[in-house]
Structure 1
């Protein structure tokens, strides 16, 4: 049975949740952490994913990729490309599809992987973690993405899921997932009739999002949403790191920007200092041998930090005001402000948000896990094997979308179908009159002012084929079903031709008119458009073409096998090393009486030879060679071990027999004592029964 699987893929850490045990559980990783670093690293033999990537990030800084969600689906000519470059320690390059690829050294050669592939590698790791923890199949996933993601970015995220062997049942906005979790898990606190108006605020590692929702028992509507996609914890970290970088140039005459490892260590220390200042008014800043064998030390106060990030804090009000404006509400209309996200723990951020709303903040949701739990619930809703509490919700359309076509008999050549602020999933049907056998329809974003600067307006293009005009008619009516589906994708769900036919329709009596039950029913002839035949649809969208998708799936499967081989090889190597030391120790201890001097001498020589090989030629050998060496030693060692085990078994048997004999003797002694006691009791009764007749 497939386990419903929800993933909050954060820019810094990822949280996994699964629907099981009559609830939603957070899945812990291989080191029992409830979140996993969102990192992909590359080495000479294999990849490092999640925790293993974090462990070697400092030493492998030029081949470790983070900020995965910032570049997936991002065009290389987008203004954000230049902004994101400074947050990466690997070179970002433009690929053949005008997308972003990361250049790394993997398997001892320079290689490039697209952002979608890198995203998929990490999802594959997350899937493996969930499989090992839940002991179940993981097929379906509900993945949350930032609300500002465009169609191209949402499609890339869905493609990454497929490359990782997952079926994306739904791509959902992060804030909507958190709101769903609130509506489901706080149902007892919600009204049944009136809607409770709640603001959801998420200050994450790389972005800041606000959604205004109307929630009641069993139902949710997102009324407005806004964002600042360049405001988050990493911006605070960089502000602190840059402050100390300048200080160290003056104080220690070193420039940490010249050394990527040094700057990364400063950045890591800046993140720790930021967390310390969330609970304290002052914190030290010390790094040993940051570069050129120079130790650095300094300190920072909370007031100094707030001064450093003042330009950031000055922008906090913008998303809140925009979201309220979209929702048509004022701050005083809200019943609650629910705050999540790791960076919401920064005191100045909390204070500023509370001041803007003019209300105290609520932290009833888990700041790190709320989105993942909402995702797991949504995935469970799509599962045929899991029963969930009914909860209806509609997501918020962030951008206005129109569909375009070549004008023939229509008055217009386009129609605004899904406006900003509309709720989805949503379906609209339009009618076009066509003369030829095929025609094109194109979807575009039509209000550039709503879009992130530099966003491509093209969404998708469809070629509709199979139109057969009616004889004697210049054109034929076609019905096109346009859909903004649950994942926020813009599609054409179906297309078919219709023709006008005369049909008989039952005449309904007018309101208040008496009806003669014995009279024959009346019919009238009316002209109606009736479906004639279905049309075929060819789509050109931002999703990967099937051939490219299959290529990436095969490439990922190959890398997974390579990683597994390296892991298995290392396991066999460790097994051989452990066996050498274990057997050598036991020859002089447990096994000393079970091997002849000749056997000991021969085996010790083999152990020494195997050890020398292991630390010389065998340091980097194959899995088969390690197995062969192990079996060579075990062929002799197991004979001696067999003698030892046989003797141990003989001792156990002797001990068992001795115990049984002892127990039997004790039982016999007990029975004898009982019989003796019984005889005494019988004699006493006979004595008492004698009567003197004299």
Structure 2
């Protein structure tokens, strides 16, 4: 049984939630943090994922990849790439196979290229392992949230990354929808049963800013409108602060931290900390030791100065709010609540600006960091056959208009149909009928309103070849029914296709009811013979074959990447096991040497001590010399060589300790027996004395 598993993939940190213990729990990682850095690093011997990548980031900055969700599924020639490239410290290249984005890193001593999908899969594998260790359960099904502005190609890439990591993506859900679902489920007691409560959900994250307007009542949710700014978030504030201090240090200390990636990263990290301090204080210091060329820098910043720096950013806040309200057909005064989430919403200037746009106070009833993950875990639980959840129906908002196209045939006026318009709700299904000559034909899905799309988005979504189209005898064409679907994950698909033909069928004629009190009204036992008539109807003839070409990875390529990831996991495990064996050997050397002079000194002969001390010194010299980077097998062999003598001495020590315990136990038992005997004797003496008193033999007046 798979534990329902929800992942809020953040650009900076990722939060994991699981449905268990009659509720939703946040999963902590190996260092007990409730969120895990969204980082993938590469080293000479293994990969660094999550916390380990964060620990290595400063020293391994040219081989550490961040901002994973910003490049997954993105073509290398996309306009967003030029904006995103400056946020990366690794070289990003054009992947020849699919013209997507790949990171060029040094791994195992060789130059390697990994696609954005591979990088995300590596990170999700780490997240899966974290959940597996914490829950001790089976982790296969995942609900992964993505930004609402993700296109079909980006959603497919996210789903492929899940599969490479050995996960089954039961649903790819919009981040704001997941938060709204969490609100609808966990705040159900505050929701009306009949009328919809209109709630705005605002998420100011690390790299993007999203707004959704929802209509919610108990057990039901609809997203009425949604808008976003892909390039507004906490990292923009960090860079504004970092640039301010970079300019100051250039003038004051005559150093340009922009020339040194490690120095600039340290300034950026300090800028992020300062931003958080200024969220609670009006002034904060800014100090970095030996930032560059052995120069120590120090400065400070006030909250007012920060707000002046980010004024151009704050001016962008109203646009998505106004657009989302417009698409929902509502005004700010129509809203019942404004729920705000996202780490960057803690910035006072951001909160004030959002409240000013809505003209209402903000609500923070949801956990700003964990609301999306909890919504994801609930949605995943809804797909589990073994977990019972409270029923909750929800429909998402279609961000872009999609039409389906086909080749025109005789007497056809149209060659396409707008099937899923912007603003429609999904999941959604539409059935269309086409007359075709056969034996096959093609259908394409495309985005058809460029103004709605982010600049540079490819219009093509998918192409289907429909086969087994055979007209009946003496017929030039046959009707084909296609079931088009915008599925729960937001994918545009043709779910099924079959041919239909006109046939004569018998249809039952409903008897005309007799007039009240008319002739035969009392003949209850009289049953009329059923009457039938022949009518022409379209009847299913045969299922059609469907072959699809879409943004999802072909099966052969997907399998290859799954095998490559499995190989890298084995290599990482071998390195980890080798390091563990090395540490075990080092610990044993120091532990045994200390005990030879202490606990074991009375249990080893002079010859044994001399021999073992020589072996310990030799093993220590080897460990810090030729054995610094040895194999797992050699560490085990060295350990067993020392243990073969050390365990003999240890055995003598343990035997003596056991003997002492036995002697102590025997003394305790003897003491207890003596005490019991004395107690019984005292009781007999007391009983005898009490008996004489009762007879009055020794009682004195």
Aligned to 1:67: 67
**Cα gap change, 1:618 to 1:77, in 2 (>3 Å):** same
- Which of these residues, 572, 589, 602, is aligned with residue 563 of structure 1? 572
Cα distance between partner residues in 2 of 1:563 and 1:140 = 24
Matched, 1:456 2:458: yes
User: Which residue pairs with 2:133 in the alignment?
Assistant: 132
In structure 1, distance between residues paired with 2:394 and 2:371: 16
Q: Give 1:689 shift.
A: 13
Can you list the C-alpha shifts for 1:422-474, whole angstroms capped at 9, x where unaligned? 11111111101110211101100000111111000000011111111100000
SS of 1:339's equivalent? Answer: strand
What is the Cα deviation at residue 680 of structure 1? Answer: 2.7
Q: Which residue of 2 aligns with 1:54?
A: 54
Name the structure 1 match of 2:611: 602
SS in 2 for 1:7: strand
User: Matched residues in 1 for 2:681 and 2:295: separation?
Assistant: 88
Q: Name the counterpart of 1:668.
A: 677
Query: Aligned to 2:389, what secondary structure does the other structure show?
Result: coil
Asked if 1:370 corresponds to 2:371, the answer is: yes
Q: Distance in 1 between matches of 2:656 and 2:465?
A: 81
| CA displacement at 1:485 relative to structure 2 | 0.6
Q: Displacement, 1:53?
A: 0.6
- Tell me the equivalent position of 1:85: 85
Q: Map 1:206-217; keep pairs closer than 5 Å.
A: 206-217=207-218
In structure 2, the residue matched to 1:278 is 279
Among candidates 497, 502, 508, match of residue 499 of structure 2: 497
Gaps of 5+ in 1: none
How many residues of Structure 1 are paired with residues of Structure 2 in the alignment?
Answer: 690
Of 653, 667, 692, the match for 1:683: 692
Partner SS for 1:388? coil
Q: How does 1:201-600 map to 2 (within 5 A)?
A: 201-409=202-410, 410-508=412-510, 518-600=527-609
Q: CA deviation at 1:687?
A: 4.4
Report the secondary structure of 1:29's partner residue: coil
SS of the residue 1:31 aligns to? coil
Shift in Å, 1:521: 3.0
Residue aligned with 2:454, SS: coil
Residues 513 and 436 (structure 1), Cα distance of their counterparts in 2 relative to 1, 3 Å cut: farther
Query: Is the 2:438–2:468 contact (alpha carbons within 8 Å) kept by the matching residues of 1?
Result: no
What is the CA-CA distance between 1:506 and the residue it aligns to? 2.1
Distance 1:587 1:295 in 2: 48
CA shift at 1:674, angstroms?
Answer: 1.7
1:133-152 per-position Cα deviation (integer Å, ceiling 9, x unaligned): 11111110000000000000
SS of residue matched to 2:423: coil
- Counterpart CA distance in 2 for 1:510 and 1:573 is 92
CA distance, structure 1, for counterparts of residue 201 and residue 608 of structure 2: 74
TM-score with structure 2 setting the length? 0.97
Equivalent runs, 1:28-177 vs 2, <5 Å: 28-96=28-96, 97-177=98-178
Offset from partner CA, 1:174-217 (integer Å, 9 cap, x none): 00000000000000000000000000000000000000000000
Separation in 1, partners of 2:80, 2:347 = 26
The answer to whether the aligner puts 1:649 opposite 2:650 as a matched pair is: no
Q: Within 2, Cα distance between the matches of 1:333 and 1:527?
A: 52
Report if aligned partners of 2:692, 2:698 keep a CA contact under 8 Å in 1. Answer: no
- C-alpha deviation, 1:677, in angstroms: 2.1
Change (3 A) 1:218 1:510: farther
Summarize the Cα distance change of 1:510–1:367 in structure 2 as closer, same or farther, 3 Å threshold: farther
Per-residue deviation, residues 314-364 of structure 1 (Å, max 9, x unmatched): 111111111111111111100000000001111111111111111000000
Distance 1:465 1:667 in 2: 95
Deviation per CA, 1:553-584, whole angstroms, max 9, x where unpaired? 11111111111111110000000000000000
- Distance in 2 (CA, whole Å) between partners of 1:614 and 1:304 is 55
Q: Distance in 2 between matches of 1:265 and 1:73?
A: 30
What does the per-residue CA deviation read over 1:504-530, in whole Å, with 9 as the maximum and x for residues that have no partner?
222336799779773233322211111
**Distance (whole Å) between structure 2 residues aligned to residue 597 and residue 277 of structure 1:** 66
Q: Secondary structure at the match of 1:86?
A: helix
Q: Which whole-Å deviations, capped at 9, do the CAs of 1:340-392 have from their partners, x for residues lacking one?
A: 00011111111111111110000000000000000000000111111111111
Give CA-to-partner distance per residue, 1:298-321, whole Å, 9 cap, x none. 222222222221221111111111
Partner of 1:599, secondary structure, is helix
Distance in 1 (CA, whole Å) between partners of 2:659 and 2:698 is 58
Return the offset for 1:682.
Answer: 3.2
**TM-score, structure 1 normalization:** 0.98
